[in-house]
Amino acid sequence: MPVFDPLPEAPTAGQLPLPLWGAQQFSVVDWPQDSFQIGYNSHTWLLADGDDLAVLKAVPADQAVKFASGLTAAGIAELAGIPAGAPRPTLDGATVAVDGPWSWALLNYVRGTRTDASDAAQLAQAGRTLGRIHTALKDTPPLPETMVWTHMEWALAPMPFLDGLEWIQQALREVKEQLPDDLSQGVIHCDPRLTEFRFDGDTIGLIDWGEVMHGPHISDLAATVSFMDEGTDPKPFLSGWAETAPGSADELVYLPVLLKARAALEGWVYARRAAFGVDLGQLGEHNNHTLIERSRQNILAAEALPRDFYRI
């Protein structure tokens, strides 16, 4: 989920702290077409030194520990053979460096194109890649300052910005009652949209590890499915995941419940962002209020799904 507190002023190109990595030889270059360089809580720059490409990423300084935790997970994924934008250490050996109001990391660039959602083979490859990531991370304990599914009481605490939006916490209470305690769990990406996978020949990577948490593996599937365009068949992706994942495909009967949880938590986040006037990363027709309404509609859609809708 995105950061929802007030953000510092955006850094400029002249404020990039490349000397912290001894990387002054890098130059800022244009991103490939259709790339996003602004996230919900971050800014990124594509850097080049000849054929060597890297990404410089900045998130608010108070998120430095969480930022480093996500990059730790990315590093574990890369050790398992999956390109994930792992960090390059600073000259002092740090994963993340705080400079001014921002924390910074220099990341490996993950080459490739996005998932072709019309290609069932690519969907299956993306699913297998996510399953391999879940297997690589399944024994990793919760990482510092990341969310833990079993300790999310804060989402049910009374909040003034939820006045008039009682349906958000009602949905979360219902989810808590509907999910078993023995779902397979581990450190998960938390936002593995199809747009975040990268296809480079036979190599498939996954980028943007800023929101890792410890929770049910099928929560990641809910994130992927929730952002699929209408008409995209999720079954190849889910079948691919089941081939390599540490959990059982039988858990897919709970995917509608996790879709409901995802929608409700997004509503919570956008309500908080609206209260603070935070809109970084929101493009096009959407703002916090339209996204809150989208969350409500997504809850209703998840509730309407048969329990075995995603069974494979």
CATH classification of the domain holding 227: 3.90.1200.10
Is residue 5 domain-resident? no
Per-residue pLDDT reduced to its tens digit, 56-94: 999 999 999 999 999 999 999 999 999 999 999 999 999
Q: Are residues 77 and 160 in the same domain?
A: no
pTM of the model: 0.93
Per-residue pLDDT reduced to its tens digit, 119-171: 999 999 999 999 999 999 999 999 999 999 999 999 999 999 999 999 999 99
Domain boundaries, position 73: 13-108
Of 108, 134, 152, the domain-final residue: 108
CATH classification of the domain holding 86: 3.30.200.20
Q: Which residues contact 32 (CB under 8 A, 6 or more apart)?
A: none
Q: How many domains does the chain have?
A: 2
Res 1: pLDDT: 43
Q: Are residues 96 and 168 in the same domain?
A: no
d(CA 127, CA 240): 5
Q: Are residues 138 and 80 in the same domain?
A: no
Res 11: pLDDT: 84
Res. 3 pLDDT band, cuts 50 70 90: very low
d(CA 138, CA 140): 6
Q: Are residues 41 and 82 in the same domain?
A: yes
Q: Are residues 134 and 224 in the same domain?
A: yes
Give the β-pairing of 27-29 and 43-49. antiparallel
Of 75, 108, 141, the domain-final residue: 108
Q: Are residues 179 and 257 in the same domain?
A: yes
Per-residue pLDDT reduced to its tens digit, 219-257: 999 999 999 999 999 999 999 999 999 999 999 999 999
Q: Are residues 138 and 250 in the same domain?
A: yes
Per-residue pLDDT reduced to its tens digit, 69-78: 999 999 999 9
Res. 282 pLDDT band, cuts 50 70 90: low
Is residue 129 domain-resident? yes
Per-residue pLDDT reduced to its tens digit, 171-190: 999 999 999 999 999 999 99
10 or 288, higher pLDDT: 288
Q: Are residues 211 and 145 in the same domain?
A: yes
Q: Are residues 145 and 263 in the same domain?
A: yes
Per-residue pLDDT reduced to its tens digit, 213-224: 999 999 999 999
Is residue 114 domain-resident? no
Per-residue pLDDT reduced to its tens digit, 15-52: 899 999 999 999 999 998 766 555 557 889 999 999 99
d(CA 174, CA 37): 37
Res 196: pLDDT: 96
Containing H/E element for 68?
A: helix 64-79
In 3D space, the residue among 220, 237, 226, 231 whose CA is nearest the CA of residue 297 turns out to be 226
Res. 5 pLDDT band, cuts 50 70 90: low
Q: Are residues 256 and 143 in the same domain?
A: yes
Q: Are residues 148 and 293 in the same domain?
A: yes
d(CA 269, CA 291): 10
Res 41: pLDDT: 74
Q: Are residues 266 and 148 in the same domain?
A: yes
Of 78, 108, 138, the domain-final residue: 108
Containing H/E element for 163?
A: none
